Amino acid sequence: MKKLIIVFILFLLTACTQPSFESIDPSVDFLASLNTGDGSIDFLSEEREIIGNWQLDKAYTGFSLVTDDLILVYGFTMNEAVIFQLSTGKQVSTIEVAEGTTNSYVYNEEIYIANGKENTISHYNLEGKLLEQTSAGNYPMSMVTEGENLYVVNFKDERLSVFTLDLQEVTEWDIPSSSQGILVNGDEIWLGGHGAGSSPNRVISRYDRATGKLVGEIETPVMPIMMTADANGFIYALSHGSSTLYKISETGEVLTSIKAGANPFSVAIFGESAVLAGYEDHQVYFIESGKVTDKVPVGKGPFQLIVREASK
């Protein structure tokens, strides 16, 4: 009897160490905001109402949607990344990583993790098993896949690394230091960035995807650090140095621009809106046809946005 009691107590203690959050309806589309100022995630519905709030217990600095029902969270100072199931709010697996995670990227339900201390890219499956690992440049961060390749921007370096999906090195391109934000646009790779020292970046650089050669620039001052595209092919570039969102055609023509948010770091497409996160004013801004149509208060320091379109 005493042994059974001890086993039961140990079970309870183990269960208590696993954080559990409120469930998110698997049929609902949402915009999620990771708020690094107070360590929380807010989930917003298409009606722009908060349908869930997770108060995180660790210093997570980024997240990715792995599947419609799984979300990955990580932190730069942490030695693990964690996968939670949205429909239950429960932790389902842990990925052992070295401290220094700067970004995660998901492709075909497999996970790539960039590490800015070890200067590595690691490739994992959903169970957290390490499949491959390779060396990158100095402080790898932004990543994107296209075809059979993974493109990695090395933030503190002057090179972009190109790997196969199983992390075999293909080639390297010359790029400006402090580059950040990458997007595939047809036969081109578009690259943003902070700029170095006292010279903030004012342009998106366009590279030929086949050769890695610079083929053009798009004026988008100041500090275009993130880009995303909508279903119609329009590209939205967020310049956090000027708190400006640019709408750009596929050919590189700037169509509209609007100032919104205080020091925004992230932009996403949700329904018919481009949504940006105001890091210093703790709100997300919904923008349509070049105008702010709504703004919703979220937790402190909204730093990253992701979208789930469960209905599609």
Contacts of 289 (CB under 8 A, 6+ apart): none
pLDDT band at 17 (very low <50, low <70, confident <90, very high): low
Sign of CA dihedral 286, 288, 291, 294: negative
- Both tokens assigned to 144: 């994107």
Q: What is the pTM of this model?
A: 0.93
In angstroms, rounded to a whole number, what is the distance separating the alpha carbons of residues 263 and 74? 22
- Both tokens assigned to 151: 């493109």
Report which of 75, 92, 74, 54 is spatially closest to residue 83, judged by C-alpha positions: 92
Question: Is the pLDDT confidence value at 14 over 90?
Answer: no
Contacts of 309 (CB under 8 A, 6+ apart): 29
Question: Is the pLDDT confidence value at 238 over 60?
Answer: yes
SS3 128: coil
Return the higher-pLDDT residue of 284 and 5: 284
Q: Is 151 in contact with 183 (CB distance < 8 Å)? A: no
- Tokens 């010279």 correspond to what residue? 199
Q: Which domains does the chain have, with CATH numbers?
A: 75-141+152-167 (2.40.128.630)
pLDDT of the residue at 159: 98
- Both tokens assigned to 238: 């967020």
pLDDT tens readout for residues 75-90: 999 999 999 999 999 9
Q: What is the DSSP letter of 20?
A: B
pLDDT tens readout for residues 127-169: 999 999 999 999 999 999 999 999 999 999 999 999 999 999 9
pLDDT tens readout for residues 29-72: 999 999 999 999 999 999 999 999 999 999 999 999 999 999 99
DSSP secondary structure string for all residues of 2-18:
HHHHHHHHHHHHHHHHS
Q: What is the CA radius of gyration of the chain?
A: 20
